[in-house]
Amino acid sequence: MIEDLYTVKDVQRVRELLLKEQHNLDLITHLLIPPKQACLDHRHDSEQLVRGVLHRQSNAVLGKLEGVWTRYLSYWYPHDLPTFLRQSADYLEDTERNPDKRYRHPNWIKKVKTFYNSLNAKQQNQVLAKLNSPEGSNPAKRKELFSKVILQRELGYDKIQSVIQQVKENHV
């Protein structure tokens, strides 16, 4: 027989009971859950059944994954979310072990801009100089010059990232 929970006290009682049964471990990460971080997780289908107790962060991520499933996958993917997640894990592990090193996604441009912007003005001008660019007199000019420099195809990510790293480490 399913017990329907009605109040905050009901939730607290069941959360504490399940947490004890779980030896205070998050059912996803298998890490200890600090008492104030324990959440009563439940299915979001018509039955609304409790699944267990999760760390607040695990519960939040699981909720996001289920939301993504509902919005973007469930209408075209012929299997369920757990199957998709297992296949995603296989894909991530395979591509981590055997990366295809033929192409770099254009997001590298945003990444090097972020690294560049974390430098102080002197370091930014040093990067520009090492990349054969004039130095900038103010932040906007330095960003503009760097944006032009990174689009020079002969430089590429490796060279630009290397120069930024050298300047950052050497504080020259």
pLDDT over 90 (residue 172): no
C-alpha–C-alpha distance, residues 63 and 43, integer Å: 10
With a pLDDT cut of 90, the percent of the chain lying above it is 97
C-alpha–C-alpha distance, residues 48 and 82, integer Å: 18
C-alpha–C-alpha distance, residues 97 and 106, integer Å: 22
Instruction: Specify the pLDDT at position 171.
Output: 62
Domain boundaries, the chain: 8-79, 107-170
Per the CB < 8 A criterion, the answer to whether 88 and 59 are in contact is no
Domain at 8-79: CATH code? 3.40.1800.10
Instruction: Specify the pLDDT at position 170.
Output: 87
pLDDT in tens, 57-110: 999 999 999 999 999 999 999 999 999 999 999 999 999 999 999 999 999 999
Per the CB < 8 A criterion, the answer to whether 119 and 168 are in contact is yes
79 phi and psi angles, rounded to 5 deg: -115, -170
The answer, as to whether pTM is greater than 0.85, is no
Per the CB < 8 A criterion, the answer to whether 62 and 71 are in contact is no
Per the CB < 8 A criterion, the answer to whether 22 and 32 are in contact is no
